[in-house]
Homo-oligomer: A and B are copies of this chain.
């Protein structure tokens, strides 16, 4: 599945513990994926099982041992295999659009409420993404890896911006 590939991708950047993987999902990856920590640890175990990663226990003085996961050659192959296997289709699943689709069951004010609330949430997310982008060194984006990573954030920003415009249009023309 996708999560396993994403984890392989991160392990490809540098060896990591499940804990660190979770942090990456919550910070750098959050604009296009999220994952429960239980799910991460289990997937990690599967990867080791299949020989796509190996564990190295690293003792620390104060903190618990780190279960550092390293990607293997086989893991790298699976990753590049996925990357070159063609563009994955995106699921197209948006509960909020479902609410809008059936919102006619509500009073006009409640519909507006729904849209305004969404507008606020979207603005909040957009602001978060924008501040994330500020933290990116644009000179570093000259190298391909950083460029592509920044590009996915740009994508999320554009999507949120488009959403805001759409929300405003709907609010304006709602009969």
**Which A residues fall within an 8 A CB radius of B?**
2, 5-6, 9, 12, 29-34, 76, 79-80, 82-84, 86-106, 108, 110-111, 113-115, 117-118, 121, 142-145, 147-149, 151-152, 154-156, 158-159, 161-163, 165-166, 169-170, 173-175
- Assuming the A-B contacts A98-B2, A155-B166, A158-B165, are A34 and B144 also in contact, with contact meaning beta carbons closer than 8 angstroms in the complex? no
Residue of B30, B95, B142 touching A90 (CB-CB under 8 A): B95
- Assuming the A-B contacts A147-B175, A154-B166, A175-B144, are A83 and B106 also in contact, with contact meaning beta carbons closer than 8 angstroms in the complex? yes
Asked whether, in the complex, the Cβ of A148 is within 8 Å of the Cβ of B104, the reply is: yes
Residue of B29, B34, B101, B155 touching A91 (CB-CB under 8 A): B34
Asked whether, in the complex, the Cβ of B33 is within 8 Å of the Cβ of A100, the reply is: no
Residues of chain B with a CB closer than 8 A to A88's CB: 95-96, 98-99
What's the minimum C-beta distance from A87 to chain B, rounded to whole angstroms? 4
Bound CA–CA A143/B113 (angstroms)? 19
Residues of chain B with a CB closer than 8 A to A170's CB: 148, 151
Bound CA–CA A53/B166 (angstroms)? 34
- List 27 A–B pairs whose Cβ atoms lie within 8 Å, in order of A's numbering: A2-B95, A9-B101, A9-B102, A12-B102, A30-B92, A33-B97, A33-B98, A79-B102, A80-B106, A83-B102, A83-B103, A83-B105, A84-B110, A84-B113, A87-B118, A90-B95, A91-B93, A91-B94, A91-B95, A97-B155, A102-B148, A104-B148, A111-B144, A142-B175, A144-B175, A148-B174, A154-B166
Residue of B86, B101, B159 touching A159 (CB-CB under 8 A): B159
Asked whether, in the complex, the Cβ of A100 is within 8 Å of the Cβ of B147, the reply is: no
Residue of B32, B101, B156, B159 touching A32 (CB-CB under 8 A): B101
